[in-house]
Amino acid sequence: MAEKHRPRQSATHALIPSKPPHDTATPAAAIFLILGAGLLFSCLDASAKYLVLDGMAAPFVAWMRFAIHGLLVLVLFRSWSNPAMFRTRSLPRQLLRGAFLFGSTLFNFLALNTLQLAETMSIFFFAPMVITALAGPLLGEWAGWRRWAAVAAGFVGVLVITRPGLAAFEIGHVYALCATLCYCLYVIMTRHMSATESAESLIFYSALAPVVMMLPAVPFTASLPPDALHWLILLGLGLFGGVGHWLLIQAYKQATTTALAPYPYMQMVWAVGFGVVVFDQFPDRWTMGGAAIIVASGLYIVHREHRLRLESRTAPNAEDSELAKKL
């Protein structure tokens, strides 16, 4: 069920145990699992957008998402017989990390109030480039010029979507960018803390921290769903998020991060589909063009990371390995 503590892993999936670094064919089961996770995350976004547009407060919707997710974690990890879930080296850092995750969710839900699903998803895909930029000053993992070029290209894609200074730019774009930044800080803290904290505690406190910190605000933001359909959608938020993360864990038990890297971008397909079917919204050419630039930049960074891992394994000494990273 829950994994034992492991050494530091990749920035984007620090909670997920990785397979040995040998290139093998990607198992079909792993592909289906990660596609299923992306579908559930898209269901989460579409459900949140539906509730927020119907008048429910975004902070309460976000709180409910983590409250239900937290209950699922307690059950799935058998908390009654798994004390490792509750042990932590630094509770303040766990809370700060959970706050960043909650901020990412809250800002995303606020953005969905005015933006299309495809717009918020496109901007969120800028996260790998932001992580690459922040990893230098925060983790000492500096990128070479090729990856910086990919970061710049991804930023151009964001500018194409938001078109700042033009009539298309609105507060929803600001919320989407804040959601992306919070998520990137969450990922970087996960990478930093995974060397000293157990995977169980990282998963548990990422759900618990938002619930506890936002509890005082619940009476002021809570609004009861008007009917059974809205109750079902609200309760489904935690299910979509919790099961989606569980599918990710299962997928990355069977395949490497690099092997599965292209498949999360399928969420753009789900986002466009839900936007058209549920909200009668189809992304314009600016959103699709910007999304294409961001996706291409993200895939290049994934490709570059894979090349660097191969070069570091074949470099004859540490000096040559460091030189390869700067290329």
For 280-322, give the DSSP string: -----HHHHHHHHHHHHHHHHHHHHHHHHHHHHHH-SSHHHHH
What is the pLDDT of the chain when averaged over all its residues? 76
What average pLDDT score do residues 52-56 get?
88
Residues 6+ apart with CB under 8 A from 53: 113, 279
pLDDT at 255 over 60: yes
pLDDT (average), residues 260-287: 78
> What pLDDT is recorded for position 10?
41
Q: What pLDDT, on a 0 to 100 scale, did the predictor assign at position 264?
A: 73
pLDDT at 139 over 70: no
- Determine the average pLDDT of the residues in 24-30: 71
Whole-number pLDDT of residue 313: 61
* pLDDT of res. 323: 31
Which of these ranges, 119-128, 137-146, 167-176, 183-192, has the smallest mean pLDDT? 137-146
Place of tokens 């570091």: 312
pLDDT score for 175: 93
- In this prediction, residue 166 carries a pLDDT of 57
Confidence of residue 194 (pLDDT cuts 50, 70, 90): confident
The pLDDT value recorded for residue 221 is 85
CA distances from 141 to 11, 155, 182, 298 (A): 11, 20, 19, 17
- Cβ–Cβ under 8 Å, residues 148 and 91: no
- In angstroms, the CA 298 to CA 294 distance is 6
The answer to whether residue 249 scores a pLDDT higher than 50 is: yes
